[in-house]
Amino acid sequence: MSSPLTTEAQIDIDREIARLELQLIDLKRRRNTLSPISTIPPEILSNIFFLALRFLQVDGDTLEDVEPDVTKRAICAVSHQWRETAFTEPKLWMEIHVRDFTATKYLDLIGKNLREIQEVYVEACGINRNHLAVLHICSISWPLSNRARQD
């Protein structure tokens, strides 16, 4: 059994760890801003991201093998700046590709980035087990497009 003193000490250490983790995140972001790629304006960076999605089939992959949403997730994982740039660019989120392995949590993330008057193209391929994901993204995007038409 632990004494109250040990528990208090552990809580203090946990708080210190949390504070240091936040400092580390801040330091990494500051380091990333010193990188040459950070000097690219967000407008150009978002166009590069959009073009990266357009050239996925150049290597001859069939539509079933292409995973544009994996590319979107990879772009968002590079840095805070890339994630912010990607999330503020409606063009990146106007096409939604649903596969058997597409997670509902990811579709919710897409739903948060859809604009109220944004047109959305949903492409579902090979969804033998994941047909509910299509219904889920339609439930997210339909109210947005419906509201835009009513105005």
The answer to whether residue 117 scores a pLDDT higher than 70 is no
Residue 146 confidence (pLDDT): 44
Using alpha carbons, list the distances in angstroms from residue 38 to 24, 29, 34, 118.
19, 11, 7, 28
pTM for the whole structure: 0.59
DSSP string, 78-144: H-HHHHHHHHT-GGGGSEEEE-TT--HHHHHHHHHH--TT---EEEE-S-SS-HHHHHHHHHHHHHH
Q: How far apart are CA 102 and CA 98, in angstroms?
A: 6
pLDDT digits (tens, 9 = 90+) for 55-105: 655 555 555 555 677 788 888 888 888 988 988 887 887 777 777 777 777
